[in-house]
Structure 1
Amino acid sequence: MARPSKEKSAAKKTAAKSAVKSAAKAKKPGGQAPATAPQPGAAGGSAYRAKIRMYRQGLGDCFLVSLPRTDGSSRPFYLMIDCGVVLGTTDPGTIMTKVMEDIVQTTGGKIDVLVATHEHWDHLSGFVQAKASFDKLQVGEVWLAWTEDAKDPLTQQLKQQKGQALAALRMGLSALQIAGDSDGAEELGGILEFFGAAKGPTTTDALTNVRAKVTAARYCLPSDAPVVPSGASARFYVLGPPHDEKMLHKINPSATNQETYGLAMGLSMFMDGAGTALAEKDGGRPFDQQYEIPFAYAQTAPDLKFFREHYFQPDGAAPDNWRRIDGDWLDGASEMALQLDSLTNNTSLVLAIELTPGGDVLLFAADAQVGNWLSWQDLKWMVDGKTVTGPDLLSRAIFYKVGHHGSHNATLRQKGLEEMTSLRVAMIPVNHDMAVKKRWGKMPLDELVDVLKQQAKGVVLRVDDPAMPASRENVVEGPDKLFYEITF
């Protein structure tokens, strides 16, 4: 992609210079103002410190980070973070293949580190939808959160709970469909789509393809020492997920302490209620099976005219329609599915990439929610004789990959965005039109977007927004609008 044209209007030049100057004033001492974007993939001789490419495949995450080498090589150090799009996207195989092929071409078919942040379809689908292209990529290392380490006891516990909940919820979805509760089935089905289609590849299949790239994956913990990969001009800190079950289960803001901008049914409650009735062996049924009449049979059997006359008349004509419970006993399913979805978000692998020299930070928060964010406040590492803390890294963040597509519970206020006093650029991988179709009308949250624009001096890039920011000296757009790329 060529550099942005120099033949801009005087007004645009003035606005761009003003925004860049403002950003330069806001940065930490020792930092460096963004340079004009070089050719994507180029490294030798360019003054850039990092390039971040956000793909615009739809509602989902896929990022490619390029860092200059410290060993004299002209080939950048490449970090790929996630590759997926939400179910319901038009022709997802084609678009994800296009994305993956661009990554193969840009990197010369070699990624130094591949990160899969958490087990959600909109972050992993490309690893199965574009497998033929993914197979062309050589991968040096695979990084996963500790929550994917089968040897970890807490992982084992979480996986068991998740498996039980998914099995019960999918059976609950079938029950809602049989009962004719189309609204309930649509709502529950939309949430379960984050774990893959009911029939077809799942997030587990996607992670299997990711793991197959290396002999052994690295399972990252916040207690790990910062990593400086060989030849890379950066230091990598793991901020989350916390190895703390209580913090993982803190998925929403407190009622008395609104930590964020802008479901109270636990797994045990659901499994003791509707989940029990959906289990293979149900010891808590209201009636013995010998006294039950299958729902479909009661509606159609010639000898059960009574039920049709009293319970199954259209438009409320049946006098006893109010007695029907149909899928009412599954009312907690959607709440439980939301909690399972949010818990999975909270297991997100969060990385803070410290650029060297200078110390500016790139923050990739995946879909981390409240408990994950709060845990960063207590993190500390000893680096070169100095203590580095979680809040310190946030204060030096010049880039923020906005959490969970800009939703209400994935960017903390006081202990999050307000600490990012050096922020210059935010990227939001969101498609609002698709979010509306999925009944997530407040994705992204307008209030959060407004604050981001103030905090990042107006440079906020969205997957679904074709408008470039006033300061675009360091931003390029890919061919066919495939990506936005920012250069620092």
Structure 2
Amino acid sequence: MSPIRLHLFAYQVGFGDCFLLRFVYPDGTRRHLLIDFGTVGMPAGVDKAAQMLRIANDIADKCAGKLDALVATHRHADHISGFDPLKKGNGPGSIIARLNPDVVLQPWTEQPDLAENATAPLAAGQAQALAGMNEVARQLKARLDTGPKGLAPELNRRLGFLGENNIANKGAVNNLIAMGTRPGARAVYAHFGSDDPLSDVLPGIRTRVLGPPTVEQSAEVRRERRSDPEYWLRAPLLFARKSSAGSTASPFPDAPGIRGSKLPQSARWIAGRVREARGAQWLSIVTALDKAMNNTSLILLFEAGGKKLLFPGDAQIENWRYALNQPEIAELLKSVDLYKVGHHGSLNATPKTLWNGFSKKGEAQTAGRLTSVLSTLPGQYGGKSADANTEVPRVPLLNELAKDSDLHDTHRLAADALYDEVVLEL
């Protein structure tokens, strides 16, 4: 028996993802799947802790106290922080744990006791994957909390955001492991080509795992490209500086003055630049960690009642390319009906090959038009300037989504709205 309708609840988590999928069957049966639950920044005036508890309780109400499956696409805080039960057990993760999901699905890199240098999942095995990356992020965040001198406010903000997002989220990670190993439940750690991980809990629905590939399948996922033709505008080098020409009394006429320093005047300019370079290096390191983590993200394609629903988490180009290079997968993706926009609308998570291949794009009122769902919060990540255009969400992509799909974006929700509900007849 196949479902006849999908109710998708896209929750207002600011910069994060949280989606509850309700599949309705002809006999009235309902199956519920939760995909991600995290945030690293709420809209102005929205209390993060209170909002996450509201969402957790609403999820519990909507699924009548029982989740059939839970998906954590990858470890970033903006996707899993809501699964943290907190030390006193009064966090949103405790509420979700009581929903007793039958299946907890995560990428292969999250398999407990997996060696840090593993290139493929183990039949059995258990060590914190990505632990080294998380530790670097933790140390950086601790360093920033001491208020290091010489960092521009915007650089300090970006470092803090990325550092927080890449911290191991130990409470959430342990809770996910516990939910997947409780009696009657099972944990699945999937990669490209894995057998349908949800067939026993979502009848009449086929779930294809299109990413991430293992390193053995594609070594490219070890790194992230600085630029690529697939991006929504190529990103130039960070911190590139234009050279100044002409002779003046000062060799650095455009440099701001450094005041209040105990250093000799002759050393103040170079000291400021050393501090700035240190901040740039920190940003380079933590950005690389952020990108690598995104390339561990699950890409899931659900096929139900003749419709296709694509949920790629934060997968970026190296993750995507392996799937898109498979002719049968590229053909399969052309007829997607609902697309959860990757990585909150960033420039490198919706490859142009993927977007241009969607056959159901079209102007308003087009029958069977593509539905797109975007969970994001502007001003949190990246930036827009004469030298770099990395703001999230990326404006050219937003324009395309609005023009050629039925776009639902959480950052346009009213301040008191908890979610946007999308209904799709299957």
| Superposition TM-score tier, normalisation by shorter sequence | 0.7 to 0.9
Higher-Rg member (1/2): 1
SS where residue 464 of structure 1 aligns? helix
Give the distance between the partners of 1:137 and 1:409, measured in 2 at CA: 35
Structure 1 residues 438 and 48, CA gap change in structure 2 (3 angstroms): farther
**Do the aligned partners of 1:179 and 1:327 also contact (CA within 8 Å) in 2?**
no
**Do the aligned partners of 1:63 and 1:82 also contact (CA within 8 Å) in 2?**
yes
1:206 pairs with 172, 175, 181, which one?
A: 172
Structure 1 residues 111 and 174, CA gap change in structure 2 (3 angstroms): closer
SS where residue 451 of structure 1 aligns? helix
Identity of aligned residues (%): 27
- How much has 1:368 moved relative to structure 2? 0.6
Q: Which amino acid aligns with 2:76?
A: H
Give the distance between the partners of 2:149 and 2:100, measured in 1 at CA: 49
**Do the aligned partners of 1:239 and 1:379 also contact (CA within 8 Å) in 2?**
no
- How much has 1:317 moved relative to structure 2? 8.1
Give the distance between the partners of 2:392 and 2:139, measured in 1 at CA: 28
- How much has 1:229 moved relative to structure 2? 2.9
Structure 1 residues 315 and 449, CA gap change in structure 2 (3 angstroms): farther
Which runs of 5 or more structure 1 residues have no equivalent in the other structure? 1-43, 197-201, 266-310, 381-388, 468-478
Matches within 5 A, 1:321-340: 321-324=268-271, 325-326=274-275, 328-329=277-278, 331-340=280-289
Matched, 1:431 2:380: no
**Do the aligned partners of 1:87 and 1:121 also contact (CA within 8 Å) in 2?**
no
SS where residue 322 of structure 2 aligns? helix
- How much has 1:480 moved relative to structure 2? 4.5
Q: Deviations over 1:124-144 (max 9, x none)?
A: 111124134224312111000
Q: Equivalent residue for 1:58?
A: 14
2:300 pairs with 317, 339, 351, which one?
A: 351
Q: Equivalent residue for 1:76?
A: 30
Give the distance between the partners of 1:422 and 1:454, measured in 2 at CA: 12
Matched, 1:455 2:425: no
Give the distance between the partners of 2:158 and 2:13, measured in 1 at CA: 24
- How much has 1:151 moved relative to structure 2? 4.7
- How much has 1:341 moved relative to structure 2? 0.5
Give the distance between the partners of 2:15 and 2:279, measured in 1 at CA: 29
Q: Greater share of helix residues, 1 or 2?
A: 1
Q: Equivalent residue for 1:190?
A: 161
Q: Deviations over 1:288-336 (max 9, x none)?
A: xxxxxxxxxxxxxxxxxxxxxxx98459983331342346345311011
Q: Equivalent residue for 2:316?
A: 369
Q: Which amino acid aligns with 1:219?
A: Y
Matched, 1:105 2:100: no
**Do the aligned partners of 1:53 and 1:65 also contact (CA within 8 Å) in 2?**
yes
Q: Which amino acid aligns with 2:47?
A: D
Give the distance between the partners of 1:446 and 1:430, measured in 2 at CA: 13
**Do the aligned partners of 1:402 and 1:427 also contact (CA within 8 Å) in 2?**
yes
SS where residue 397 of structure 1 aligns? coil
2:93 pairs with 122, 125, 131, which one?
A: 131
Give the distance between the partners of 1:361 and 1:163, measured in 2 at CA: 34
2:219 pairs with 241, 246, 270, which one?
A: 246
Structure 1 residues 157 and 209, CA gap change in structure 2 (3 angstroms): closer
Matched, 1:402 2:341: yes
**Do the aligned partners of 1:366 and 1:404 also contact (CA within 8 Å) in 2?**
yes
Structure 1 residues 167 and 443, CA gap change in structure 2 (3 angstroms): closer
More displaced stretch, 341-350 vs 215-224:
215-224
Instruction: Name the count of aligned residue pairs.
Output: 365
Q: Equivalent residue for 1:295?
A: none
Q: Which amino acid aligns with 1:204?
A: K
Q: Deviations over 1:4-24 (max 9, x none)?
A: xxxxxxxxxxxxxxxxxxxxx
Give the distance between the partners of 2:160 and 2:102, measured in 1 at CA: 37
Q: Equivalent residue for 1:411?
A: 350
SS where residue 422 of structure 1 aligns? coil
Q: Which amino acid aligns with 1:212?
A: A
Q: Which amino acid aligns with 1:239?
A: L
- How much has 1:237 moved relative to structure 2? 0.3
Give the distance between the partners of 1:480 and 1:130, measured in 2 at CA: 19
1:145 pairs with 100, 107, 111, which one?
A: 107
**Do the aligned partners of 2:14 and 2:42 also contact (CA within 8 Å) in 1?**
no
Matches within 5 A, 1:298-309: none
Structure 1 residues 253 and 377, CA gap change in structure 2 (3 angstroms): farther
Q: Deviations over 1:213-267 (max 9, x none)?
A: 132410011121235334522100001111126321342364xx511212999xx
More displaced stretch, 234-243 vs 313-322:
313-322
- How much has 1:49 moved relative to structure 2? 2.8
Structure 1 residues 164 and 154, CA gap change in structure 2 (3 angstroms): farther
Give the distance between the partners of 1:341 and 1:168, measured in 2 at CA: 15
Give the distance between the partners of 1:138 and 1:420, measured in 2 at CA: 36
Structure 1 residues 167 and 327, CA gap change in structure 2 (3 angstroms): farther
Q: Deviations over 1:417-438 (max 9, x none)?
A: 1111125100110122555899
SS where residue 411 of structure 2 aligns? coil
Matches within 5 A, 1:25-36: none
Structure 1 residues 192 and 438, CA gap change in structure 2 (3 angstroms): farther
More displaced stretch, 313-322 vs 425-434:
313-322
Q: Equivalent residue for 2:72?
A: 116
Give the distance between the partners of 1:344 and 1:430, measured in 2 at CA: 18
Structure 1 residues 106 and 438, CA gap change in structure 2 (3 angstroms): farther
Q: Which amino acid aligns with 1:67?
A: F
Q: Equivalent residue for 1:154?
A: 119
- How much has 1:173 moved relative to structure 2? 3.8
- How much has 1:461 moved relative to structure 2? 0.7
Q: Equivalent residue for 2:423?
A: 487
- How much has 1:443 moved relative to structure 2? 1.6
**Do the aligned partners of 1:251 and 1:409 also contact (CA within 8 Å) in 2?**
no
Q: Which amino acid aligns with 1:328?
A: A
Structure 1 residues 327 and 486, CA gap change in structure 2 (3 angstroms): closer
Structure 1 residues 102 and 452, CA gap change in structure 2 (3 angstroms): same
Q: Deviations over 1:9-61 (max 9, x none)?
A: xxxxxxxxxxxxxxxxxxxxxxxxxxxxxxxxxxx9x9843221111231210
